[in-house]
Structure 1
Amino acid sequence: MGRFADVQNRDELWWLLLAISRQKVVDLHRSESALKRGGGRVRTESALQASYGRDLKFSLDQLVGDEPTPESLLVIDEQQRRLLGMLRDDVVRRVAIARIEGYTVSEIAGELAISPRSVERKLQLIRKRWAEDLGNATSSASV
């Protein structure tokens, strides 16, 4: 009848489901304790809470501030300047900046008095250029 044709009644079905569930738990445990996942040394947020004690409230959200650090702002600004510097002319740079700021293709086209298709082509050019650069940076970083 199928893969489990030997299951004859409800009790046998329950035993089969129990065996499947048990195997899934074993597989999950093996996966979570694999070396590539930290070999079981990775602590969960609830385990960290227990080590802090019952009185103190702990959350991983406390480790990250709401505001970016000055160092991260500097890195972002340098990266933005470098990427924009790769673009060949001011119109393409203006398209990139407007898109980063969240403007739609039609809004950018209206602001620059060009067709939406022209904006899309410029965005494709920008993506291609930046992808090539980021691909080169990734390959040189892995060497």
Structure 2
Amino acid sequence: MQTPNENEFADLIALVRKGDDAAITKLWNEYFQRLVRLAATRLPKNVRRTGDEEDIALSAFHSFIAGIRDDRFPDLSGPNNLWGLLITLTSRKVNAHLRHQMRQKRGGGAVRGESVFGDTVGEINRAGIGAVDGQVQSPDLHAELAEACDELLNQLPDDQLRQIAIMRMDGFLVDEIAERLELSKRAVERRLQLIRKTWSEAADDDAV
């Protein structure tokens, strides 16, 4: 299927905003399999389960359609801009999926950011979210925490670093991470140092 030009795209989005099923189906046919492939590239192979990438792509597509109908994407101007938005949505879904999966393997519990990464993840608190060691008390607070974690994870340059950060925040020990990812303990420690350095530099840039 040929990607619509800018005029066709504007008309298509207007129909989606009105809930037109044919327009939604057209976008589905154009983008869904691309989202599946994108999600597959973002999921570490050693934790990927059958159907994970399709579930993530479906969730990202539904969030996109809901956002269009609620006018949450005012800067959406064309097909190229749309693909960038879908990449962002899919990446967030992948991060959320990995956090959930690691938490399930660990047996549940809240993110333990400050106790693991010190002042770096403590930026979450200074953003006004509150303590992350205890149970999240409200849906709004939970959403803010998830968004803050996503922002931190998206600052990391590759999927393995994101996976290590997620596992560490969920309480995995360095030895456990090394065993699960088939890395040496020293390799995991070096990557944790890089994560801390990346987040620290990002925090310093924001403070300027």
Under a length normalisation based on structure 1, what TM-score does the superposition of the two structures give? 0.48
Higher relative contact order (CA 8 A, sep 6+): 2
Under a length normalisation based on structure 2, what TM-score does the superposition of the two structures give? 0.34
